[in-house]
Amino acid sequence: MAEIISSHFYGKSLCDLFMGGASISIKAKSMNMRVIGNDIAYRSYLIGEALIKNQKEKITEEDVYSLFVPTENNHLIEQNFSPEVFTPKFAQFLDKGFANAKKRTAPKKQLLELALVKLILSTRQFGGFQVGKQDNEMIANNQERELLELASEARGKKIKNILSHPLPTLMRIKDQINSSIFDNGQVNEIYQMDAFDMLERLKRENRQVDTLYLDSPYKNSVLYSAHYRILDQILEQKLEVEIEDKTFNKADALDSFEKLFTLANSVSNKWIISLGYNPDSDGGIKGEELLAVVQKFKPAEIFYLDHIWAINNLSGKSQSRNVEYLIVTK
């Protein structure tokens, strides 16, 4: 997917306005473009700090051990998400680990937070937090063996990660993260802002980017802040987390796009917009409709991707009828 999208990159700089997991920013960085990454959520911002802005700092073995050092913490995870989401033992380690990571400064702080997020996700099926209560109950009742016998191969792997000591998994995660850290010789920037505010800022500062990549959420798609709520609460170390990420999930998303394009017009000439439409759920926006709005600003063409997302759908349901497309300005 990143290959197809990057074949449309133009020039020496790219702004990834809805960065998410940062796959497109990483691709642009590897092509030696100057990257400006942005996302409204800290869960994405930290990835950008760790992997895009950071050019050389890596996670050492000592850093991993430092997560295990006993330290004062607020027991947020243990008190609120255990045993429903995490086993008590795992929750206690996570409380300690995040408290230790938070003591560090950027980019070490974000590198260690990223390692802990990856550790958490290694224990979650479909990367979600909705399931698992029953598994934790069986673990509490010493029924690990029955649990593993019942589980599918994929789920069994996640359960084994819940049951095992986090150190070896974290060491593997460390190597995996370190292998994606490199210097591309550019000053890359990362922001945690609303997309409109970010474009306003670039406009105010009279800055231009060669390529603007827009991969927003869309109507009836999973709301990230709902899906990742527990992760966001853990990362922000509080239960009241409000992430204003609903703009493009609403029925009037097309109007929001038009407003976004009005701002984008002063910041970049080359836009790559990635979106989808699902006729079953009437989710997203039909390609032709969005193309018509883009063409009010610039000549553009649409590319339909006959790519079937197997796991893109965070709920794990089949999305075979989802139509993914790219709109690229000329």
Site for ligand SAM, rule CB under 6 A:
18, 20-21, 23-24, 39-41, 44, 194-195, 215-217, 224, 245, 247-248
Single-letter code of the amino acid located at 168: P
CA atoms within 13 A on the CB side of 226: 9
Between 184 and 313, whose beta carbon lies closer to ligand SAM? 313
d(CA 28, CA 272): 13
- Whether the CB-CB separation of 169 and 161 falls below 8 Å is answered with yes
Helix (H) or strand (E) holding 243: none
Residue nearest to ligand SAM (CB): 20
Burial of 186 (0-12, 13-18, 19+ CB in 10 A): middle
Q: Which of 307, 316, 310 is nearest to 276 (CA)?
A: 307
Between 26 and 112, whose beta carbon lies closer to ligand SAM? 26
Between 24 and 115, whose beta carbon lies closer to ligand SAM? 24
Least Å distance, CB 1 to ligand SAM, is: 8
Least Å distance, CB 277 to ligand SAM, is: 14
d(CA 209, CA 307): 29
Between 9 and 248, whose beta carbon lies closer to ligand SAM? 248
Least Å distance, CB 152 to ligand SAM, is: 26
Any idea what the Cα angle at residue 43 is, between residues 139 and 161, rounded to 5°? 25
Least Å distance, CB 38 to ligand SAM, is: 6
CA 244 to chain CA mean position, Å: 15
Task: Give residues with Cβ within 8 angstroms of 237, minimum separation 6.
Answer: 74, 76, 98, 102
Least Å distance, CB 249 to ligand SAM, is: 8
Least Å distance, CB 180 to ligand SAM, is: 14
Q: In the structure encoding, which two tokens stand for residue 148, read together?
A: 């593993």
Q: In the structure encoding, which two tokens stand for residue 241, read together?
A: 């987390």
Between 77 and 253, whose beta carbon lies closer to ligand SAM? 253
* Pairing label, strands 13-16, 211-214: parallel
d(CA 210, CA 312): 28
Between 161 and 225, whose beta carbon lies closer to ligand SAM? 225
Least Å distance, CB 306 to ligand SAM, is: 19
Between 15 and 139, whose beta carbon lies closer to ligand SAM? 15
